[in-house]
Structure 1
Amino acid sequence: MNRLFKRVVEVISGNVRMNNDELDIYFNIPFDDDLEPNLSEITVYNLSQTTINQLKRGQKLSINAGYSDDKGLIQSGEISSVSTKWEGADRATLIKVLDSVPYNSAKTLQRSYKNNIKADAIIKDLAQALGLKVATLRLPTNKVFKKGYSIDGEIIKSIQNIAEDCGASAYISRQQAFIRPITEGDNHNFVLNSDTGLIGSPEYFEEEKNGKLVKGYKFKSLLQYRMNTASIIQLQSREVKATLRIRKGKHINNGSSFYTEAEAIM
């Protein structure tokens, strides 16, 4: 736990470099297991007008956070909007950031595919029509649509549905799109326990999804950049010892608290 001291926050966008040694920087950064872009909010107090003018819509923004000897990337996206207002004697600038790659998530399509077409071929074609670059495409079951496949609606929903039918998760994380097995993720060999930041006791849950029973835990820790969509972690507490894959959560810094909440499945 000794290394979890001295909080560090760095915000980088173009020529702008901001850090929490010089400015008060708060954030709420959600992440989850789908292709809908997540909207993060970063509030920075008392920025100069010159700096505010350099923060422009469509510009890439990234955030590193953690501690003096252990920090990492928690957000990479594009600025959606920038607004400034006075809060008493302080000037608060709210920066909204989309964790996305450039594509139109609401785009629709009307198209039919031939008999015996495979799921990966449909996904590749739909992704191209959407302008979505997929970093990883790996389907546990490459389903064959014997009677063909038709789409008449939102492309993103069809990609999501086909991926789920094939046992895969489709999501965007840090400006990259992934379609891969629901149990597959990024293993940082990270053990979360009371010594590495676990707060309180994990909460067990069960739910049914696509006809299957899903089991997992919800938990909270001191802010941990290694925890993101599809991160594989070892959760250890008095009640639990399990290897889990994170499916959603959020990173929060509100001034008094600096933490990560997550929901992970077995």
Structure 2
Amino acid sequence: MTNPNYIFKRVTIIDIQGLNWNTTFNGNDFHITFEVPFDSDTAPNEITVNIYNLTKLSVGRLGKGMSVSVQAGYVGNYGVLSRGKLTSIRTYREGADRITELKIIDGMDVSAKTAEKNITFKKGVLGEVIIKKLVDLLGLRLTELKLPDNKPYPKGYIVSGKLMNHLITVAKDCGASVFWKRGNLVIRSLKEATSEICFLSEDTGLIGSPEYFADDSGKGYRAKSLLQHKITPGVLVEFKSRTSNGQYRARKGKHVGNGSEFITEVEVI
């Protein structure tokens, strides 16, 4: 099988770390395919990575719960697409190839965690105080917290039942969204500017023209480009094309790498 990485200078790196073993699978040495979805909701996304023709020894060392990072892009311009935990390993044959399929959860599924007893916050408590307490109770690592409106609760606030539901509610009261970004929890507004920006035009990898859409959740454009590792929820995307010229916020999409495609699909609003 011809390795397209040599031809197009593609980079794919899969790092896997366990308690007693870690390794790196490089796209220059193995045929690797992947699909990495991203979006702006609280449910962790499932990543799929396929590595071709691993030795039985390497497959035997893989185990559920290992940490996995997926990096991709091009020589001189690649980065992390996701960081998560390995949830399943399956090996099967396809013609002459033996394929090992890895399923990875990007983030943590804490939707079932509940408060052991009611937690009461005093009158006038600020949203940020509640959010930090909930994040701590959930055992999450919060890498970004930026609230457009640090709302006060004049009557106080009571936490009971599912903790994540309260986190989403309080963040929304404060004008922010709760989502996962490269395996890390982020609470911020998708409408607010970030320090990251991605310019998309024919010269920088835009494939075709962005397509306009309008639905119940908003309106914007769907676009496809050569793989852009910088594009994640909230990132500013600036188009220069026949159908769209302007700046938008990335809402969801996916990074896809296989033998024929090495692309990013994105929906912006």
Task: Indicate yes or no: 2:122 matched with 1:118.
Answer: no
1:168 maps to what in 2? 176
Structure-1 separation of matches of 2:194 and 2:96? 44
Decide which moves more: 108-117 or 253-262: 108-117
Considering fraction of residues, name the structure with more strand.
1
Report the Cα offset of residue 50 of structure 1: 1.4
Report sequence identity in percent: 40
- What SS class does the counterpart of residue 202 from structure 2 fall into? coil
Render the CA deviation track for 1:7-54: whole Å, top value 9, x for unaligned: 221111133221222221111111111222111010111101111123
Render the CA deviation track for 1:115-157: whole Å, top value 9, x for unaligned: 3222111111111111112122221111122233333332112
Structure-2 separation of matches of 1:161 and 1:70? 38
- Find 2:112's aligned residue among 100, 106, 110: 106
Count residues with an aligned counterpart.
Answer: 257
Structure-2 separation of matches of 1:121 and 1:69? 41
Q: Which runs of 5+ in 2 are unaligned?
A: 1-6
Task: Indicate yes or no: 2:252 matched with 1:244.
Answer: no
Tell me if structure 1 keeps the 8 A contact 2:35–2:47.
yes
Structure-1 separation of matches of 2:52 and 2:121? 53
Q: What is the alpha-carbon root mean square deviation over aligned residues?
A: 2.0
Q: TM-score, normalised by structure 2?
A: 0.87
Q: TM-score, normalised by structure 1?
A: 0.88
Structure-2 separation of matches of 1:146 and 1:206? 38
Distance 1:57 1:74, change over 3 A: same
Structure-1 separation of matches of 2:193 and 2:255? 19
Tell me if structure 1 keeps the 8 A contact 2:48–2:102.
yes
Render the CA deviation track for 1:62-103: whole Å, top value 9, x for unaligned: 1221123322221221211212122233211111111115x6
Structure-2 separation of matches of 1:119 and 1:92? 48
1:223 maps to what in 2? 227
Residue type matched to 2:175 in 1? Answer: G
2:4 maps to what in 1? none
Render the CA deviation track for 1:203-234: whole Å, top value 9, x for unaligned: 2234455xxxx442211111111111222221
Residue type matched to 1:156 in 2? Answer: M
Distance 1:187 1:238, change over 3 A: farther
Tell me if structure 2 keeps the 8 A contact 1:16–1:54.
no
Task: Indicate yes or no: 2:258 matched with 1:254.
Answer: yes
Structure-2 separation of matches of 1:88 and 1:240? 44
Residue type matched to 1:20 in 2? Answer: G
Tell me if structure 2 keeps the 8 A contact 1:11–1:17.
yes
Distance 1:228 1:46, change over 3 A: same
Structure-2 separation of matches of 1:246 and 1:164? 19
Structure-2 separation of matches of 1:258 and 1:123? 38
Decide which moves more: 110-119 or 18-27: 110-119
Mapping of 1:130-149 within 5 angstroms? Answer: 130-149=138-157
- What SS class does the counterpart of residue 259 from structure 1 fall into? strand
Distance 1:78 1:164, change over 3 A: same
- Find 2:59's aligned residue among 52, 60, 66: 52
Render the CA deviation track for 1:171-196: whole Å, top value 9, x for unaligned: 11122211112223543343111111
Mapping of 1:87-102 within 5 angstroms? Answer: 87-101=94-108
